[in-house]
Amino acid sequence: MTKNSPWKVLDPDLETALDAYEFPLEALAAGTIPAIVLRSAISEEACQQLVRRLIDDELLFDPGQPMPERFSDLAIPEGYYREGRNSVPKQAWQSQEETGRIRIDIGSSLGYRGSDKEAFLAHSNETHELFGELFADGVDPVRLMYENLQLLCRDKQVVTAHEPDGRRYGPAIIRAHYGGYTYPPHFDSVRLREKREDYAVHQFDHQFAGVLVLQNTQLGDTTAQCVLHRCLWDEAVDPHLRNGTFHDYAAENQIENTDVILNAGDLYFFNTRSIHEVPGVSGKLPRIVLATFIGFSKDRDEIFVWS
Ligand SMILES: O=C(O)CCC(=O)C(=O)O
Ligand SMILES: [Fe+2]
């Protein structure tokens, strides 16, 4: 596939994706398409009900009220990740007090907790219990994510990521981004970035994200949206991600990009090796998503999903 061939999101539904490609996930792996979008995977009402439930259960806080004290310990700073077993944060970050940009996670993040494997797997176990209760009646967004992925991948089996002894990772994670929380240009890879050699997910050739928007944030006419760049991570781009000069590099090298414009209820899948970003928008409501990572190898029958 040459650089000049069109790079277009597969939109708006499963049928479109499966008509365009027999195996749409292989097109994602190759970088031939930027993303697969499934519109209205769940209704806006169901999204609102879910968000209301999370606030009622005190798993999130109402942005119209002052932040309860206990959330300041749970808040995750912008730009945070750890590498391998190293528990020292790799990147410096501005404190959330300075920026007012706070992220609250409901679930178990391998990126955040994976440096201590036992603690991560124990935390993941608790997440399975919590999600079991949360989604026992009503819409189960995790099941919906897995079902859609299963239809997209046809003959492979979608399962929650697990270690050879059967211990499971967190099935998905809910992330609420308050105050214009921003993801600067980055890529995600347990293999190439975090180097988590001691985890089973390290063995997959490709990593995707599956993200379901539960609530967006809006300021004037602007909503927070993911921008995907037509650039798979490599050594040449790496210094630009670290130094914050990716936009200059992209302009110099005429790297195209595409916004993926989503509303509450829309679901999208993309290759996390593609450089991507979500510029924050400091609207009244936090942007809330249900997010997963997906491990894919052409020659493996199973697809692993985790968070
Ligand atoms: O929230 C999104 O749409 C994508 C976020 C992202 O890039 C990440 O969690 O690594
Ligand atoms: Fe990402």
91 pLDDT band, cuts 50/70/90, is very low
Atom index in ligand 1 nearest the CA of residue 213 equals 3
pLDDT at 84: 52
Q: Measured between alpha carbons, how far is 77 from 100 in angstroms, rounded to an integer?
A: 10
The structure tokens listed for 131 are 């999600």
| Residue 294, number of CB atoms within 10 A of its CB | 27
pTM of the predicted model, to two decimals? Answer: 0.95
Q: Name the percent of the chain lying above pLDDT 90.
A: 85
Q: Is the pLDDT of residue 273 over 70?
A: yes
pLDDT at 72: 80
Residue 278 near residue 213, CB atoms below 8 Å: no
Nearest CA owner, ligand 1 atom 3: 226
Which residues share a beta bridge with 176?
104, 288
Q: Is the pLDDT of residue 266 over 90?
A: yes
Q: Ligand 2 centre from 290 Cα, in Å? A: 13
Q: Between residues 165 and 90, which one has the greater pLDDT?
A: 165
Mutation test of ligand 1: which of 91, 226, 229, 287 has the most ligand atoms closer than 8 Å to its C-beta?
A: 226
Domains of the chain by start residue, with CATH: 14-66+101-306 (2.60.120.620)
pLDDT at 74: 85
Q: Between residues 82 and 22, which one has the greater pLDDT?
A: 22
Q: Residues near 90 by Cβ (< 8 Å), separated by ≥ 6?
A: 81, 82, 83
269 pLDDT band, cuts 50/70/90, is very high
Q: Name the percent of the chain lying above pLDDT 70.
A: 92
